[in-house]
Amino acid sequence: MSENRSQQARISLAAWQAYRPTDYLKADSNIRRVLQMHMDENYLRYQPMLSKAARMSASRMDSLAINSNRDENLPRLNRFNGIGERTEEVVFHPDYHELGVCVWETGVLAVLEQSGNELYSGALSYFIAHNGEAGHACPVACTAGLIKLLQQVGSAEQKKKYLPRLLETDYTKRLHGAQFVTEIQGGSDVAAISCVAVPDTKREGYYRISGEKWFCSVVDAGLFVLAARPEGAPQGTQGLALFLVPRTVDGDVNDFTIRRLKYKLGTRSMASAEVDFNGALAEPIGPLEEGFKNLMGIVLDTSRVHNAVAACGLMRRACIEAQAYARYRVAFGRSIIEHPTVAQIFARMKVITSAAVSTTFRILAMGDRLTAGKASKEMKEARRTHVNINKYWTSIQCTQVVRDAIEVLGGNGTIEEFSVLPRLYRDAIVLESWEGTHNTLCAQVLRDFTTRKLHFPWLADLSDVLSSITHPSLEEHHSRAALLLNHLAARIERLLSSEADYANFHIRGVVDRMCALNNYLSLLLELNWELNQNIESEKGVMIEFYYCLFIDQADPMDNPELPGLIQGICMETTR
């Protein structure tokens, strides 16, 4: 009898593995609807490339990411070659490079050649990130930021020199970027940067960079975006400039040395390092006096959006793993998805993931409208706040969702050989810190509201979204959201009229409420579109559950509708 049970358990595990999708686009009805809503007629034109990326991510990319992230296959540093010449070479496992071939082949960067393709590129990144950071999501994000930096503020010569290779789809011919900002004394305090840029005496218009950078991800990149202070420039952020630092100059390693590679908690197959710049040749990118503005408005803005997209991809993969496992794993005579405790976990995972996707892709679409000149200055200002609070919320929720998936798998969920979830969990924690910690992002929101009055355009944008939710069946949601918007506006005014210590103490709680309402409205916007298109989905049920989780937060024991909402979400999953 026990032998039969063991055999049946293994059959169930095999069924779980077989049930996992081979095409992440085909298996994800929600992302298809989201993309159709935002892309409109372009969706059918983009679908073949999206499907290709989704299929590769579910197959070849998956196995390559698993192998290249094994301890014995992590990158290593070779500072010198066999005859003692300095190379500062980072050596990767062959599977890392084969995975890179797949990633670059998706066109995730090439599509940025044409303006207005941020949503398209973001969708490709979303499917790539189903495998976590996997050593390449960060290089893609950094390179995307460099492409946009060149497109917006680069000189004609710089664009001609660098953009073709940055937009290359052939991995072996590519030029990829990195961004080096963090210093040991600064971290998120960018104003404390001490790297110095001195004009080069032999090359007019060029500089020599000296100083230490403490956290240099994508240290194998061919071109670095580096923040430094020109000699004689004022202290603080107003004295910072941005520079392009090539890895090699005339075939030789530029004047920098890699101290060591970081042995990180997550994103381990992507090389991060400590670097000393010893008079490295550099050229300014954009006006020197606008370095901080371009760093925040272009480089970090791009990375923060990519961070949120990556979080969405990780969450979706966690849902896939938990859904398939819960469907086939039997305990106490039935599939574990039928147990109310497991059903609650999975319903929460799915709703949070849908909310993250909803708001993140709305932000991507906003970026495209701004690029196309179809949006106002006020929307640009509102988007800045959207990007910052969304990076904050998605990174926190990503860690929670992946951890929930591990709980669904039980002890099996902690085993590296059994599931990708332990690696995704490590990557998720790193996503929380990258591109601005939680406190840094909340502080920036408060600073933007206090000094630039950006709460006005942000609240106005939410009001515009609310006004566009017009389907008759959503009147109750509309009334709820209107009341919440008024309460939130009053809370923000109360915060800004208070003493600085009070505002700093309470800003995070206010940002949490901002995120909850923003997600609620984003989901309602999608449901409004679906209803107008006569599309049937579980979105209405999911919005009600989201409201219970993040907005109403009444005692669940007093809500008789809650079990039915959870059952509706899980029943849709198991059909």
Give pLDDT, residue 250: 94
- The answer for 351, left when phi > 0, alpha when psi is -120 to 50, beta otherwise, is alpha
Q: What is the largest CA-CA distance in the chain?
A: 84
Give pLDDT, residue 328: 85
- The torsion of the CA quartet 390, 396, 400, 402, rounded to 10 degrees, works out to 70
Beta carbons within 10 angstroms of residue 196's beta carbon: 17
Q: Which CATH architecture has domain 177-289?
A: Beta Barrel (2.40)
| pLDDT (tens digit per residue) in 283-334 | 999 999 999 999 999 999 999 999 999 999 999 999 999 999 988 888 888 8
Give me the count of residues in the chain: 575
Residue 169: which of 247, 52, 302, 282 has the closest Cα?
52
In angstroms, the CA 328 to CA 187 distance is 46
- The torsion of the CA quartet 440, 306, 308, 236, rounded to 10 degrees, works out to 10
SS3 278: strand
Q: Residue with structure tokens 């398209």?
A: 120
List the beta strands (DSSP E) in 289-384: 330-331, 334-335
Give pLDDT, residue 512: 98
In angstroms, the CA 285 to CA 145 distance is 13
Q: Residue with structure tokens 């609240």?
A: 459
The list of the chain residues with pLDDT below 70 reads: 1-3, 186-187, 572-575
**Alpha helices, H only, 154-290:** 156-166
**Token pair of 323, please?**
């859904």
Amino acid letter, residue 540: G
Could you tell me the sign of the dihedral formed by the alpha carbons of 498, 500, 501, 506, in that order? positive
Is the Cβ–Cβ distance between 525 and 465 less than 8 Å? yes
Instruction: For Cα atoms 372, 39, 427, give the angle at the middle one, nearest 5 degrees.
Output: 95
**Token pair of 124, please?**
């490709």
Q: Where are the domains of the chain?
A: 177-289, 438-537
In angstroms, the CA 480 to CA 210 distance is 56
Is the Cβ–Cβ distance between 109 and 147 less than 8 Å? yes
Residue 88: which of 197, 224, 266 has the closest Cα?
224
Give pLDDT, residue 575: 39
| pLDDT (tens digit per residue) in 472-519 | 999 999 999 999 999 999 999 999 999 999 999 999 999 999 999 999
Could you tell me the sign of the dihedral formed by the alpha carbons of 567, 570, 572, 575, in that order? negative
Give pLDDT, residue 574: 43
In angstroms, the CA 282 to CA 557 distance is 63
Give pLDDT, residue 2: 56
Q: What is the pTM of this model?
A: 0.96
In angstroms, the CA 191 to CA 472 distance is 51
